[in-house]
Structure 1
Amino acid sequence: MDRLKILLVEDNTLTALDLQEILEEAGHTVTAVARTFNEALKAVKTQPPDMALVDITLDGSTENGIETAREMLLVHRMPIIYLTADSDHGTFQAAKETMPAAYLLKPFRADELKLQIELAYHYFQLNQLVDTPSAAHLFLPVDKGYEKIALRDVLYLKADGAYVKIFLTTREQPYHISMNLRHLAQYFSASNFFRLSRSLLLNLDYLERLERNYLYIVGHKTAIPIPAASRKELMKRLTVVRTK
């Protein structure tokens, strides 16, 4: 079995300690134990793991485990295993949108967890190999069918109510996709795509000009405001020559 780097997103200290013991006995390394949404995102950026085990209920956090997993996947693609005491159907359906590798109900058995981890990572690696040849393209649901687009041609995605507008260099008019941006964003996980806000996902390859509070995309004259909360992370993703 592969020795994996695993992030724990768990707000209960005793449960986190039990999980860490199980994982380390199996030969894995726990990269961090995050109790909240912010701690989880920081951990993913600091030391990207091979996998994350995520508790859905995170007391004291601004977001629950499902929201946390969504945002982590925008930063780093990896398999997610949910650990929860919540068997509610609505919670399960919400979790499914993030396409987890497994959904385990507490209390779980240590042997079961070890097997699910091994299976999850095995299938993740297989999918990586299968997806590689076509990773540069997507098929969008358009007019009762599916239309192929090249990721390199995508300028940005913008949430518009129940739809997402996808702007491309090859089309004058955007595609209108009946889907929420959080779900669609997982298909744009390459390093050149950046989630500027809840409603906007940019292809940084087409960032033409940057000002203190605004940025400009190639071919679009309208300035796009930079949220204060996103500016620091955006600057980390860019190579900027600074004046003394």
Structure 2
Amino acid sequence: MSEKIKILIVEDEMIIAANISLQLNELGHEVTGIVPRGEEALMHIKSETPDILLLDINLKGNLNGIETALEMQKTHDIPVIYLTANADDVHFNKAKETHPYGFIAKPFKKLDLQRAIELTISQIGIKNDPNPEVHSNNETLVLSDCIFVRHLNSMVKVNIKDILYIEAERNYCRIFSNNKEYLLVMTLKEMDRKLPSRHFLRIHRSFIINISHIKEIATTHIVIGRKAIPISKALKKVLLRRLQTI
């Protein structure tokens, strides 16, 4: 897969589709087309195969989004992210049968779209790896002064000193550095085990912080950058003890 991810938008509300296309371009991805019908999507895929299919569930025409995905999967293995304004159990359970990579509920923000695409890219990388066991063990390489994280198709170096904090997102975690974010296919618990303890401390079930970037310690939270991160009384005592030893 090329570094620039190719995405087909299948959406019959053209204002929404145009907005999605604009946001995807701003995120650095390539939109191969915008089509309003499932039948047109299937024709497009034959001539220009995208890397990801952004597919509205409630399409007008002969095929809805789920039926379009099922038909596509007879000949192609393209990751599907569903767009839906109707997230009821019936639609959700039917959609699950097509094994989508994600769901985006309308109305959605740019960040929702960005995260769904990033998670899908991460999963594509693992799926296409010829040696998944090695890939899994080396998804994140932690050294004494830096971390190498997988970003698209390469391993990117992130200096320890530049990491502000790490936040859990279900079975994933997100590194916030001085100028960029990285989404990792790793739990916060796994990340906590890999990180050098002299720099980092888990102060909440959802947060690991870089101690050197603390700007403020309040009664119930600490501040790093512009982020207020909650902390319990017990962990606050641990943090204060750590700061005394630095």
Structure 1 CA distance for aligned equivalents of residues 121 and 35 of structure 2: 21
How far did residue 79 of structure 1 move?
A: 1.1
Say whether the 8 Å CA contact 1:82–1:102 is kept in structure 2. yes
Question: Secondary structure at 2:74's aligned position in 1?
Answer: helix
User: C-alpha offsets along residues 42-86 of structure 1, whole Å, 9 cap, x if unaligned?
Assistant: 111110000010000112x10100000111122221211001000
How far did residue 123 of structure 1 move?
A: 0.7
How far did residue 13 of structure 1 move?
A: 0.6
Aligned partner of 1:30 in structure 2 is 31
The correspondence of residues 64-75 of structure 1 with structure 2, limited to 5 A, is 64-75=64-75
Q: Which amino acid aligns with 2:49?
A: P
The structure-2 alpha-carbon separation of the partners of 1:131 and 1:79, relative to structure 1 and needing over 3 Å to count, comes to farther
Structure 1 CA distance for aligned equivalents of residues 132 and 47 of structure 2: 26
Say whether the 8 Å CA contact 2:55–2:83 is kept in structure 1. yes
Structure 2 CA distance for aligned equivalents of residues 131 and 67 of structure 1: 33
Structure 2 CA distance for aligned equivalents of residues 56 and 94 of structure 1: 10
Say whether the 8 Å CA contact 1:82–1:100 is kept in structure 2. yes
What TM-score do the two structures reach when normalised by structure 2? 0.51
Structure 2 CA distance for aligned equivalents of residues 131 and 35 of structure 1: 38
The structure-2 alpha-carbon separation of the partners of 1:131 and 1:47, relative to structure 1 and needing over 3 Å to count, comes to farther
Say whether the 8 Å CA contact 1:102–1:120 is kept in structure 2. yes
Say whether the 8 Å CA contact 2:126–2:132 is kept in structure 1. no
Say whether the 8 Å CA contact 1:79–1:121 is kept in structure 2. no
Say whether the 8 Å CA contact 2:104–2:112 is kept in structure 1. no
Aligned partner of 1:50 in structure 2 is 51
Question: Secondary structure at 1:75's aligned position in 2?
Answer: coil
How far did residue 128 of structure 1 move?
A: 2.4
Q: Which amino acid aligns with 2:80?
A: I
Q: Which amino acid aligns with 1:27?
A: G
Q: Which amino acid aligns with 1:110?
A: K
Aligned pair count reads: 132
For structure 1, the residue ranges without an aligned partner over 5 or more in a row are: 134-244
Q: Percent identity?
A: 39
What TM-score do the two structures reach when normalised by structure 1? 0.51
How far did residue 22 of structure 1 move?
A: 0.5
Aligned partner of 1:76 in structure 2 is 76
Say whether the 8 Å CA contact 1:44–1:75 is kept in structure 2. no
The structure-2 alpha-carbon separation of the partners of 1:98 and 1:22, relative to structure 1 and needing over 3 Å to count, comes to same
The structure-2 alpha-carbon separation of the partners of 1:49 and 1:22, relative to structure 1 and needing over 3 Å to count, comes to same
Question: Secondary structure at 1:27's aligned position in 2?
Answer: coil
Question: Secondary structure at 1:74's aligned position in 2?
Answer: coil
RMSD: 2.0
How far did residue 132 of structure 1 move?
A: 8.4
Q: Which amino acid aligns with 2:102?
A: A
Say whether the 8 Å CA contact 1:45–1:75 is kept in structure 2. no
The structure-2 alpha-carbon separation of the partners of 1:131 and 1:54, relative to structure 1 and needing over 3 Å to count, comes to farther
Choose 1 or 2 for highest CA Rg.
2
